[in-house]
Amino acid sequence: MAETFKIRRLEMSDKRKGYIELLGQLSVSGSVTDEEFDRRFEEISLYGEEHVICVIEEETSGKIAATGSAMIEKKFLRNCGKAGHIEDVVVDSRFRGKQLGKKVVEFLSDHCKSMGCYKVILDCSVENKVFYEKCGLVYKGVHMAKYFA
């Protein structure tokens, strides 16, 4: 059966299309209830164009095949500039090798540019550095974290 991929914003009904399970291929997603999902969806929606989540749906199976998010940060630096933060990019292991990750990064990057950001940034593992270089990003430094839980 032919695969048809459509790129768009996350919708509330995407929970039924495997969105949380897909995030689970990236990190711990946990067991999110429908109520928790809807509440978080609405909280993020309040930010409008400043926090967008992109998905690629495979329409034949009705499954979410890839996703990524972008959040826009307002700074004082760079003449009160804005920076786009790309987060949580993942492609379903069943759909890899089809450039879906690149399409997600381009979608989010284009969005941040259209919103007036002077840059987009993201953090990744050393293994994924080459992939993001193919998406037009360059190495800038190191990523550090402190976990509370």
Tell the residue number behind the tokens 């492609």, with chain if given. Answer: 91
Query: Does residue 104 interact with its own copies by CB under 8 A?
Result: no
CB 113 to its own copies: min, Å: 5
Tell the residue number behind the tokens 């193919």, with chain if given. Answer: 134
Measured from the CB atom, the residue of 4 and 128 that comes closer to its own copies is: 128
Query: Does residue 75 interact with its own copies by CB under 8 A?
Result: yes
Query: Does residue 49 interact with its own copies by CB under 8 A?
Result: no
Tell the residue number behind the tokens 């990019």, with chain if given. Answer: 89
Among 7, 32, 61, 102, binds its own copies (CB under 8 A): 32
Strand, coil or helix: 118: coil
Query: Does residue 97 interact with its own copies by CB under 8 A?
Result: no
CB 131 to its own copies: min, Å: 10
Among 5, 7, 61, 71, binds its own copies (CB under 8 A): 71
Rounded Cα–Cα distance for residues 89 and 99 (Å): 13
**Subset of residues 129 to 148 that bind its own copies, contact rule: CB under 8 A:** 129, 132-133, 135-148
The order of strands in the sheet holding 82-91 is 5-9, 51-58, 63-74, 82-91
- Report in angstroms the alpha-carbon separations of 118 from 50, 75, 103, 114: 14, 11, 20, 10
| Closest by CA position to 69, among listed 120, 132, 139, 133 | 120
Contact residues for its own copies (CB under 8 A)? 19-20, 23, 26-32, 36-37, 39-40, 43-44, 51, 69, 71, 73-80, 83, 85, 87-88, 109, 113, 117-126, 129, 132-133, 135-149
